[in-house]
Amino acid sequence: MPDSFDALIDDALARLNRAVRDRDAPMHSPVVVTGDGDARIMVVRAADGDLAALRFHTDARSPKVRTIAADARITVLAYDPFDRVQLRLTGTARVEQTGDWADAAWAATSPLGRRCYLAMVGPGAPLSAPESALPADLRDHRPTLAQSEAGRANFAIVLVRVTAFDWLRLGRDGGLRARFERSECGWQGEWIAP
């Protein structure tokens, strides 16, 4: 297990990169907490090279998009139950529905991955029956690439700028914990009690 600041930064990054690549990775779908205190699971889609930024995808109609526009504060909470490692990342978020990054993220999303953006109403809208809100012909089928393009209007990326994070491992040895703050010279770490 890592025991220096640099090793912990590398470890956090490795865990998040694995989460991006591997849907079975323990940190694939962390809890994302907005400034209003609401929390939800989201799939992490990208983590940049020095842990300064994370990317998520979302439906532009979802309530969290309005929340983030009003209050950019965000926390991302990820946990690896096998290694008993918790990552708590905090920073600010912004939503982009248009632009090069949103276009590239949409282009890299498969037709099946795009299907949720074809729902007739956005997440949280009331329904009159226990159903998915997908058009009937798509409920049991993946859309064709052409069909999936209609979802682009509802697709957005959430970009998180990470300004601090907390690395914690609990174990029989009493565990290890460090807090990191981003400064102009990079990450500044301090050891804190688990």
Ligand X SMILES: Cc1cc2nc3c(=O)[nH]c(=O)nc-3n(C[C@H](O)[C@H](O)[C@H](O)COP(=O)(O)O)c2cc1C
Q: Which residues bind ligand X (CB under 6 A)?
A: 29, 38, 40-43, 56-59, 62-64, 123-124
Q: Least distance in Å: CB of 11 to ligand X? A: 24
Cα distances (Å, whole numbers) of residue 31 to 8, 24, 40, 77:
21, 16, 5, 5
Residue 62 or 75 with smaller CB distance to ligand X: 62
Q: Least distance in Å: CB of 27 to ligand X? A: 13
Q: Least distance in Å: CB of 58 to ligand X? A: 3
Q: Least distance in Å: CB of 120 to ligand X? A: 16
Contact 30, 41 (CB under 8 A): yes
Structure tokens at 81: 């139950």
Residue 74 or 176 with smaller CB distance to ligand X: 74
Residue 43 or 134 with smaller CB distance to ligand X: 43
Residue of 92, 94, 111 whose CA lies nearest to 102: 94
Residue 43 or 138 with smaller CB distance to ligand X: 43
Cα distances (Å, whole numbers) of residue 144 to 112, 114, 129, 140:
9, 10, 26, 13
Q: What is the largest CA-CA distance in the chain?
A: 55
